[in-house]
Structure 1
Amino acid sequence: MIMSGSLVRRSGVALVAAAALVALPALPALPDGTGAPGAAYAAGRAGAAGRGGAAQAGEHWRGGWAAAPQRPTEVFGKNWSGEGFARQTVRQVVRVGAGGAQARIRLSNRYGTAPLKVAGATLARADQGASVRAGSVRQLTFGHGKSATIPAGGELLSDGVGLRVRALESVTVTLYFDAPTGPATLHALAGATSYRAAGDHRSDVGAAAFTETSQSWYYLSGVEFAGGGPARRDGIVAFGDSITDGYGSTFGTNRRYPDALADRFAAVGRPRGVLNEGIAGNQLVNTTADFGEKATARFAEDALNGPDVGTVILLEGINDIGMSEVAVGSGGPTPEVSVRQLIDAQRELIRQSHRRGVKVIGATLTPFKGAAYYTERGEIKREALNRWIRTSGAFDGVVDLDRALSDPADRGRMAAAYDQGDHLHPNDAGYRAMARAIDLDAV
C-alpha cells in the first residue's frame, strides 16, 4: 500500500483543506472559452494556461475531475513513470464530482522531454476493476483525428463525445501508446488502481488483458463535461499538498476531503465539480524533485486552467515549515522560509486568482504536534501564519481547519478521532469533518 505506516515515517508530508467559511462576495463571471465545434489543442506551457477549450455553440464545459501533473518520481513506491510505455494500453478509473451529456479529457506532457504520441483513447463508464460497462465505450478523437501528438511541456484536450455521466459516477479513460513514450508525466499519489496491458486493448470491455497494476495516474489531468446544467462558473479547486491529495484516506474509496465535499453538494441536489489539485509534499515557496513545483509556479496552470473555475480553497504551507527542519524525500532539508515569505506567497496566489475573477478561500494550517517533522520553532510559524489567514482580510473567505481538527485539550495536536496515525494527516473521519465544516452556500 502506498499509504502504509512505514511510508508515513519516511515521507512525513502534508497538504491542505477547509472548515467554517465566512460569506463570500460575488465576483464577476468571465466569458467561457469557445471555438469551432470539436476543436482540440496541444499547447506549450506558456499558451496552455487559462484556455477552456472548445465547445459547441451555447455549450458550457465544467470540470468533473482533475489531478495535478508531476515529473517522474517513485517517492511513494515503484510506478511506471520512469520506464514509460511502448505498445501498451493504460486504463485509469476516476470518479467525477459533476457530470453531463458530453465528455472530454485533458492529457498533460508537462514533464516530458520529447513529443508524446497518443495512438488512441477511449472513454467509458467504469465497472469492476479494469472492466467497463458494455455499450458505453466511446472512441475519443483529437481535432477529429484518432491519434495526436503532444509537444514536450504541452497539454492536449480531446474533442467532446456523447456519453451521459451522472455526478459521483466513475468513468474509465483508456490510452494506447504504440511507440516508446519515455519517462511519463504522472500524478504519483492516486489513491486508486490503474491498469496496464500489452498491445492495443483500448476498446476492451473486459479486464482480462490488464494484468499489471499501479497506484498512480499517468498523463491524465482532467475530465470535463457539457450539457450537465445551466452555464455557471461554479467549479471549485482544492489546492494544496498531501492533505488535499488525500494521504491517509482509505485506498480506492474516494474519501479525500474534496471527494467528501462533492458528496455533500450531490446530496443536496446541487452537484459541482470539486477538482483536487493537491500534490503530496508540495510547498508554497520551494520546488522539490519529488513533490512538485512550488505553488506559486504551478498555480496558474493547475488551479486556474479549468473551463469553469470560480473558487479556490487554498491550504498550503505546512511542508515549507516542516521540511525545512527535517529532510523528506530524496533531497536534504529545503531552505528555511520565514512567515513573511509564506504570507507573500499566499498573497501572490490571491493576486493570480483575482486577476482571473476567481475567489480564494484561505484555510488555516492543520495541527501537526507529534509529526515526524514537528518542532517548536515550526509550531510558532504555523500559529503566526494562521493568525494572518484569520485576520488579514486578504482572502474572500476563511476556513479554520486548525480549529476544525484540533484536540480541544491541546490545540497544537490533531484530535485522535481524526488522526490517521502520523499526527499530520487526517483519516477518513477527519476528511469528512473538513468537508462538513464548509458552508456550501459560501463557495
Structure 2
Amino acid sequence: MPAKSVGAAAALVLTAALAVAGARAAQSPPAPVWNAAWSAAPQRPSTGFTPNWSEAGFSGQTLRQVVRVTTGGSRLRIRLSNAYGTSPLHIAGATVARRDHGARLRAGTVRQLTFGGSRAATVPAYGQLTSDPAGLPLRAFEPVTVTLHLDGTTGPATFHAQSMATSYAADGDHTADVADTAFRRTTQSWYYLSGVDVSGGDRPVRPGRTGGIVLFGDSITDGFKSTPDRDHRWSDALAERLATTGRPRPVLNAGIGGNLVLNDSAWYGQRSSARFTRDALDLPGVRTVVILEGVDDIGYSETDKPTYKPAPVVTAAQLIDGHRELIRQARARGIRVVGATLLPFGGSDHYGTRAAAVSLAFDQWVRTSGEYDAYVDFAKALADPHHPERLDPRYDSGDHLHPNDAGYRAMARAMDLSAL
C-alpha cells in the first residue's frame, strides 16, 4: 500500500478511536462534588479535661460514634485520622447507618464501608484515609453513626477530646449490630473519625457564596459546657439559623479546647497556624472561615491551673501577629476570613489586669484594622450590660468564661450572615 494510503488509514483509525473515547466520556457521569458535612479536629492522645480512652487505645473492640451532619446528600464518605499514631492503624471493618437512639441503629440503614474496594484498611502512621462512597441518603441535621471494628491493638489513639456527644465501645465485632446491647462502655470523645463528607444532595453545595463555613478556635468554638448529646454548640446554632433563613450552608467545627494561637500544647493541640490548613482550609467545599481564638493565650498566665505551665505572657501585638498569619494562609487559598472579638471573661480564672488590657487592644484591632474581610463582635453581643467585662448572666455557663446553650445561640444570632 502506498505510504500516503497507510497514513490516511492510520489517521482514520485514530479519528475513530478518539470519537469512541469522546462518546464514552460524554456518557460517563460527572465526578461527584464532595462537601464536608461534619468535622472534628484531631488531637494527640492525652488525659486532657476529662477521662477518655485515647492513651489506652483499643484492642479487639468495636467503636460506635454518633455525629450530626449540617448538610444532606445521597452518598457519604468518612475521613479517618491517624495523625498522632506512631504505627499503622488497622481497620478490620466499618459501617455507617442512621441512628435510632443512643447506640441503636435504624433497621435497614446499615451500609458496609469499603476502602479502595476492600472492607479492611490500614491508615498509615501520621496519616489519614478516606473511605469509598456509600449510598446512604442523609438530610441536613440528621445524626449518622460510624462504627469501626479495631481487631488488633491500636496503641494510643488520635482523638478529639471534647465531643459533647456520647460514643460507645463493645468487645468483639459488632459493626453490623442494629441493637445496642453489646455497647456497654461510653465516653465523650471521638476517636480516629475526623470528617463526614456528602455528595449528591437536593441542593448541592458548590464552590462560591454557598460553600462551607468553618468555625475555628478553642473550647468556646468546640462547644464546651453546652448540653451533651443535644447539639447546642454555636456551630450547630449557626447552621440552624442559616437553614431557617433560607440560606443553608454546611457549618464545620474546628475548635479544640484550650487551643492557642501562638504555642503548641500537649493537651490542647498544635498552635493555630500549624493546624489551620489541615483542620480548616483543606476541608472539601469550604469557602469561609470564622476565627475566634486568643483568650487562652492571654489567660493561661493568669490562672493557677497547671494545665499549661509555664504559660508565656503574651502581648496584644504578638496575638495580632498570630491572627495575621491565619489571615495570610486563608487569603492564599482564596478563602474568605472573618475575625471575632473575644467573649467577655471577667470573673473567670483567665481574667486579670494584664489579660483585660490585652483583650481590649486585640478587640479594637479586630473592629478597626480592616485586616479581616469582616468581623463579628462577640465582646459586645454577650456582655453583661452593667459589667461589660463579664458575660451576661443569661449566657454564662457558671465559670464566667464559657457560654451556656443560650449563650451559644446568642453567638449565632450575633453573626451578620452577609459577612459570611
Q: What's the TM-score, normalizing by structure 2?
A: 0.91
Secondary structure in structure 2 of the residue aligned to 1:285 = coil
Secondary structure in structure 1 of the residue aligned to 2:153 = coil
2:206 — aligned with what?
232
Map 1:173-188 onto structure 2 (within 5 A): 173-188=146-161
Q: What does the per-residue CA deviation read over 1:12-43, in whole Å, with 9 as the maximum and x for residues that have no partner?
A: xxxxxxxxxxxxxxxxxxxxxxxxxxxxxxxx
Secondary structure in structure 2 of the residue aligned to 1:239 = strand
1:199 aligns with 2:176: no
Contact 2:56 2:157 in 1 (8 A): yes
1:419 aligns with 2:396: yes
Q: How many residues align?
A: 389
Q: What does the per-residue CA deviation read over 1:145-169, in whole Å, with 9 as the maximum and x for residues that have no partner?
A: 1111111110111111111100000
Q: Return the match for 1:435 from 405, 412, 420.
A: 412
In the TM superposition, residue 331 of structure 1 has moved relative to its aligned partner by 4.0
CA distance in 2, matches of 1:231, 1:259: 18
1:31 — aligned with what?
none
1:126 aligns with 2:110: no
Contact 1:286 1:334 in 2 (8 A): no
* Unmatched 5+ stretches in structure 2: 1-27
Larger fraction in helix? 2
In the TM superposition, residue 259 of structure 1 has moved relative to its aligned partner by 0.4
Secondary structure in structure 1 of the residue aligned to 2:301 = coil
CA distance in 1, matches of 2:64, 2:378: 35
CA distance in 2, matches of 1:390, 1:189: 30
Superposed CA RMSD in Å reads 1.3
Divergent runs of 4+, >4 A? none
The structure-2 alpha-carbon separation of the partners of 1:318 and 1:73, relative to structure 1 and needing over 3 Å to count, comes to: same
Secondary structure in structure 2 of the residue aligned to 1:206 = coil
In the TM superposition, residue 230 of structure 1 has moved relative to its aligned partner by 3.5
In the TM superposition, residue 327 of structure 1 has moved relative to its aligned partner by 4.5
1:85 aligns with 2:58: yes
In the TM superposition, residue 56 of structure 1 has moved relative to its aligned partner by 6.7
2:140 maps to a residue whose letter is A
CA distance in 2, matches of 1:331, 1:278: 18
Higher relative contact order (CA 8 A, sep 6+): 1
CA distance in 1, matches of 2:113, 2:417: 34
In the TM superposition, residue 73 of structure 1 has moved relative to its aligned partner by 1.4
Larger radius of gyration: 2
CA distance in 2, matches of 1:83, 1:235: 35
Q: Return the match for 2:137 from 148, 164, 168.
A: 164
In the TM superposition, residue 340 of structure 1 has moved relative to its aligned partner by 1.2
CA distance in 2, matches of 1:208, 1:109: 29
1:366 aligns with 2:340: no
Secondary structure in structure 1 of the residue aligned to 2:331 = helix
Q: What does the per-residue CA deviation read over 1:185-232, in whole Å, with 9 as the maximum and x for residues that have no partner?
A: 000001010000000000111100101111100000000100112352
1:155 — aligned with what?
128
Q: Return the match for 1:279 from 226, 244, 256.
A: 256
* Unmatched 5+ stretches in structure 1: 1-54
In the TM superposition, residue 77 of structure 1 has moved relative to its aligned partner by 1.8
In the TM superposition, residue 92 of structure 1 has moved relative to its aligned partner by 0.2
CA distance in 1, matches of 2:38, 2:302: 34
Contact 2:383 2:390 in 1 (8 A): yes
CA distance in 2, matches of 1:422, 1:378: 17
Q: What does the per-residue CA deviation read over 1:81-127, in whole Å, with 9 as the maximum and x for residues that have no partner?
A: 01111110000001111110000001100011111111111010011
Percent identity reads 56
2:151 maps to a residue whose letter is D
CA distance in 1, matches of 2:214, 2:63: 26
CA distance in 2, matches of 1:438, 1:346: 19
CA distance in 2, matches of 1:271, 1:399: 19
2:243 maps to a residue whose letter is A
2:378 — aligned with what?
401
Q: Return the match for 2:333 from 348, 356, 364.
A: 356
1:66 — aligned with what?
39
In the TM superposition, residue 410 of structure 1 has moved relative to its aligned partner by 1.7
CA distance in 2, matches of 1:57, 1:324: 54
Contact 2:169 2:183 in 1 (8 A): yes
1:241 aligns with 2:218: yes
In the TM superposition, residue 294 of structure 1 has moved relative to its aligned partner by 0.6
1:296 aligns with 2:273: yes
CA distance in 1, matches of 2:58, 2:384: 47
Q: Return the match for 2:387 from 391, 410, 419.
A: 410
1:321 aligns with 2:314: no
2:8 — aligned with what?
none
The structure-2 alpha-carbon separation of the partners of 1:136 and 1:329, relative to structure 1 and needing over 3 Å to count, comes to: farther
